[in-house]
Amino acid sequence: MTQDAFPITIYHNPNCGTSRNALAIIRAAGYAPDVVEYLKTGWTAALLNTLLADMGASARDLLREKGTPAAELGLLARDVSDEAVIAAMIAHPILVNRPIVATPLGVKLCRPSEVVLDLLNNKPTAFTKEDGEVVKL
């Protein structure tokens, strides 16, 4: 499969270093991903449910607590349903942890950023994160 025939979508927050590093790894491997800035575009229940199903994850697995209104919205209680979490994610896109990367090899929350390597056919020859950490390839 060529890189052009290997579609990659990254649900990206440009203000997040982990998200920027994952995007840079993808590009260093020679791919031109579809970059979705989800804070601008928002989420739909259908998209979130598809991503969660493809990941084999629950909405809680993608819930970002730090720097979000998750606690104020009462989302941290164990009895909150996935449907309620997804509804909150649609209303407050910042609640979705990032970056989420989808390729033909799967869908993952790429934290840490080098998790994205599991989703690529081609790997970069070398990569150094923004903070100077060298990624072992």
Q: Is 16 in the active site?
A: yes
Does residue 98 form part of some domain?
yes
Q: Indicate whether 136 belongs to any domain.
A: no
Domain containing residue 44: CATH number: 3.40.30.10
| 129 located within any domain | no
Active-site residue (options: 8, 10, 11, 16): 16
pLDDT digits (tens, 9 = 90+) for 55-91: 999 999 999 999 999 999 999 999 999 999 999 999 9
Instruction: Render the chain in DSSP notation, one character per residue.
Output: --STTS--EEEE-TT-HHHHHHHHHHHHTT--PEEEEHHHH---HHHHHHHHHHHT--HHHHB--TTSSTTTTTTTSTT--HHHHHHHHHH-GGGB-S-EEEETTEEEE-SSGGGGGGG-SS--S--B-TTSPBPP-
Q: Does residue 125 fall inside a structural domain?
A: no
Structural domains of the chain, count: 1
- Report the percent of the chain where pLDDT is more than 70: 97
As a whole number, the mean pLDDT across the chain is 94
Question: Is 132 inside any structural domain?
Answer: no
Query: Is the full-model pTM beyond 0.85?
Result: yes
- Which domain does 79 fall in, by range? 9-119
The answer to whether position 46 is within a domain reads yes
